[in-house]
Amino acid sequence: MSHAAVKQEQVGERNIHEILSESSPGEKKNFDRNNLKYISHPTSLSLSANDSSVLTPFEAPSQNGDPCAKTPPSKIDTIKSWSISTYKCTKQLMYEKLGKSSRTVDTELENHIESLRDTQRKYLNLLRLSRALTSHFYQVVQIQHGLGEAFSDLAHKSPELQEEFLYNSETQKSLTKNGETLINALNFFISSVNTLCTKTIEDTLLTIRQYESARIEYDAYRTDLEAMSQAPKTDSSTTKILEAQQSFQQQKDNFEKLRSDVSIKIKFLDENRIKVMHKQLLLFHNAISAYFSGNQQALEATLKQFNIRVKSPNSTIPSWLEQ
């Protein structure tokens, strides 16, 4: 190594020591820590502007401006929290059945919920009977269609009874046409009632089940908090009580939110149910009356009024089971 290079290295080393000696102890500590962090993790962050890994959701600035990392909850912590909550809810359910624990009851809302479930049961029974009627009537229409074809065939083979066979053939074909039109109306009625029972009402019942689960959790954490409050006060118990109060407040907020959602959904469901069934019951009455009175024009006008597509008389009308 040349004399000039040795001299330059000594000057550089002296300058560094001078900087360190002139700086305060706190500054020197920060300088060493920053260098150690950089050396220990030279590739921990990408300097690319498009790299989204820099914006991690677990980084938050501390009060001093230094980044403070929050570790996400581990799977063990999640399972532990779920297990504790499940245990509390199971215990609450058992105590309620044994009469050892009280439950929160909203009498008015509970009556609305029970009324809704009873309404769904009755509508499902109406749906079952309507499907049975449509299925049996579809078989009648198919038999009438077969009779019409048989009468027409015999009219060509029996000249002495040709007029009578043709008359009966036309009658059965007319009944078949009107029957197919009525089946279209019945299928439309069934489809609307099925949507109301299995989708509209079921959506509200799903929210109700969530509300009932939240009620159990709310009562479980409430009972747990009451038991802790009655226990002797110690430093550790005070900390546990504070944690229990926070958990109870979270369950209370969730419970009240779902209770409000259930009330709103039941209200709008009743309004929608009345509107839908008013239309469908009018369709059912007009179609049945027009068919059995033999009023073909009124039957076709009913389907046109409700925008129901009428299939051709010669087409095969599938039953609700085949749709």
Question: What do you get for the CA distance between the two ends of the chain, in Å?
Answer: 94
Phi, psi of 318 (to 5 degrees): -75, 150
Across residues 102-119, what is the average pLDDT? 92
Strand, helix or coil at 67?
Answer: strand
In the block, residue with structure tokens 């005070």: 238
Mean pLDDT, residues 180-208: 95
Helix pair 107-157, 235-292: axis angle to 10 deg: 30
DSSP-assigned states of every residue in 168-202: HHHHHHHHHHHHHHHHHHHHHHHHHHHHIIIIIHH
Q: Is the pLDDT of residue 295 over 60?
A: yes
What is the signed CA dihedral for 250, 253, 259, 260, rounded to 10 degrees?
A: -150
Rounded distance between C-alpha atoms, residue 276 and residue 270, angstroms: 10
pLDDT at residue 86, rounded to an integer: 76
Burial (CB count <10 Å: 0-12, 13-18, 19+), residue 296: middle
Say which range, 62-71, 169-178, 224-233, has the weakest mean pLDDT: 62-71
Q: Residue 147: its pLDDT value, please?
A: 95
User: Closest Cα partner for 67 from 45, 39, 42?
Assistant: 45
- pLDDT of 71 over the 70 cut: no
Q: Other C-beta atoms within 10 Å of 247: how many?
A: 19
Q: Please tell me the distance from the alpha carbon of residue 311 to that of residue 276, in angstroms, as a whole number.
A: 24
Q: How far apart are CA 299 and CA 306, in angstroms?
A: 11
> Which has more confidence, 226 or 269?
269
Architecture of domain 106-305 in CATH?
Up-down Bundle (1.20)
Residue 8 has pLDDT above 60, yes or no: no
- Compute the distance between CA of residue 227 and CA of residue 34 in angstroms, rounded to an integer: 50
